A and B are shown apart, each in its own frame.
Chain A
Amino acid sequence: MKLNTFFKKFLAVISLLALTFTSANAGVTNIIPFGPGGESDVTARMQQPYYKDIYNDDIVVQYKPGGGGSVGWSSLNSEKGDGSVIMGVNLPHIIMQPIAKGDKAGYKTEDINVFSFFHYTPDAILVEASSPYNSLAELIDFAKKNPGKLTFSGSGTYSANHLLTISLNQKANIKTTYVPFKGTGAAVQALLGKQVVAEAGYSTVAAKQGSKVRMLAVASESRLPAYPDVPTFKELGFDIVSGAYRGYALPKSASAATVKEWSDRIMKINSDPKFKKQMEDGAFVVVNIGHDQIDDFMKQQQAANEAIAKELGLIK
């Protein structure tokens, strides 16, 4: 009996020591303010192997979901500012949330020390493969003849998907019905199940669903390399260039040197042609907005989003 308990104690101590010495925390932490499996997560994981190659260090992805990202963003500035922690940020979220929710958002746009955006997923209109509509024009035609009957599925209310339908309504002078769902998965499900006529989603939906859906138009500046047959909204006469931008931020306490260093790192990964191809195959559009362009870019985006918010009546 005595030997037994001694042995157990011994084992416990050994395993304790073993645990301390294994994987003693090296690496940098990338906090994703969403749950695992989403676009922010996927692109962060795509970066991991390239970062390891170039900088011989690990990016450890952690999740801090909640409030559509606001839980993470409101806690950003309490993290260490020495460059060991970065956080994923999304546009239009970090601009729209404080506007739409005011204090309830938990942070202000200016509090977020963004240093780069490395890709965006343009908005897109998609229909299911067996749908009779082969072009955006046909869809709009249907809407004109049947006001309100064109149903779009999308994720959330006042989200990028929702705003896309509002923009389209205004620019094409039609009346459609937007049906919000919880998350892109549910919106896609409704599309595939033919519960709705079309989906207001992102280009990544087309990448994931392949031949099950047809992308009718994409809200990028120019056609996507992986989808050369899909026209842009601009080409079709609608000035809609929008989508969700994703990038990273550091805590406010980070020094200018740290900011520059991280911005360069992210841009370096972006410049790797294999990384670019991987992203493009997933219908992500790589952009190189580094720390030196951030201020202007954010100003631009702020103005654009405020205009939309005014139209929606979110701000007076």
Chain B
Amino acid sequence: MIKDLTSFISGICLIILSVILFHEANQLSPFASVFPYAITSVLLLLSVLLIFRSFKIEIKVEKENVDTVKIFLLIIVFFAWIYFLERTGFVLTSLIAFNLLILVNSGLSVGIKKIALFMIFGSIFVLLLYFGFKNLLLVPLPEGLWLRDLQN
């Protein structure tokens, strides 16, 4: 029945989005609402077209098989890296997260010696960039609120 499931689901999501946006646009002053109304209308129209099309044909999207475990772990560590940046400070967080990611990506297929080598070079790289950004480019990288509290 539905030939193109992805398009169908996308279409439904977009229709919901359009409704929300129409609601938002309602509360705007005249000038500021012109474009929102106009574009949202076009979006609604296109979403409907997409849904209709999903019954007739499928335009294939290239998808390779995905290693879900790795992706999941990557996303978790990535997010944690960002989350802890301001709490445990840039250097510490980055060194830990960076090396964790090496582990995640190596999985079981890479030998320990190699992993250790990666970690050493990687950490040097992290430190180099850290000091480069901090002292040369004068970017105030997070110091770490938790560490500051520990000192007090």
Task: Name A residues whose Cβ lies closer than 8 Å to a Cβ of B.
Answer: 9, 12-13, 15-16, 19-20, 22-25, 29, 60, 62
Contacts and interface: CB of A to CB of B under 8 A. Distances in A.
Interface string B117-139: 00000001001100110111010
Contact of A15 (B128, B138, B140): B128
Nearest to B128: A16
Nearest to A5: B121
Nearest to B135: A23
B138 A62 contact: yes
Contacts of A60: 138
Interface string B131-152: 1101110101000000000000
A15 B132 CA distance: 10
B131 A16 contact: yes
Interface residue range, chain B? 10 to 19
Contacts of B138: 23, 60, 62
B124 A9 contact: yes
B124 A19 contact: no
Contacts of B136: 19, 22-23
20 contacts: A12-B128, A13-B124, A15-B128, A16-B124, A16-B127, A16-B128, A16-B131, A19-B131, A19-B132, A19-B135, A19-B136, A20-B131, A20-B135, A22-B136, A23-B138, A25-B135, A29-B140, A60-B138, A62-B138, A62-B140
A15 B131 CA distance: 10
A19 B124 CA distance: 13
Given A29-B140, A62-B140, A22 B127 contact: no
B105 to A, nearest CB: 22
Given A19-B135, A23-B135, 19 more contacts: A9-B124, A12-B124, A15-B128, A16-B127, A16-B128, A19-B128, A19-B131, A19-B136, A20-B135, A22-B135, A22-B136, A23-B136, A23-B138, A24-B135, A25-B134, A29-B140, A60-B138, A62-B138, A62-B140
Contacts of A15: 128
Contacts of B140: 29, 62
A25 B141 CA distance: 12
Contacts of B132: 19
Contacts of B134: 25
Nearest to B134: A25
Contacts of B131: 16, 19-20
A271 B23 CA distance: 55
Nearest to B140: A62
A81 to B, nearest CB: 13
Nearest to B29: A157
A77 B138 CA distance: 21
B97 to A, nearest CB: 19
B34 to A, nearest CB: 14
A12 B123 CA distance: 11
Closest 3 A/B residue pairs (Cβ): A19-B131, A23-B135, A12-B124
Contacts of A25: 134-135
Contacts of A62: 138, 140
Contacts of B127: 16
Nearest to B133: A19
Residue with the highest number of chain B CB atoms closer than 10 Å, among A16, A22, A62: A16
A9 B128 CA distance: 12
A62 B133 CA distance: 13
A155 B73 CA distance: 47
Nearest to A8: B121
Contacts of A19: 128, 131-132, 135-136
A141 to B, nearest CB: 29
A277 B115 CA distance: 63
Contacts of A9: 124
B75 to A, nearest CB: 27
Nearest to A60: B138
Nearest to B127: A16
A16 B127 CA distance: 7
B81 to A, nearest CB: 21
A196 B132 CA distance: 48
Nearest to A24: B135
A187 to B, nearest CB: 17
A23 B128 CA distance: 15
B32 to A, nearest CB: 9
Nearest to A180: B31
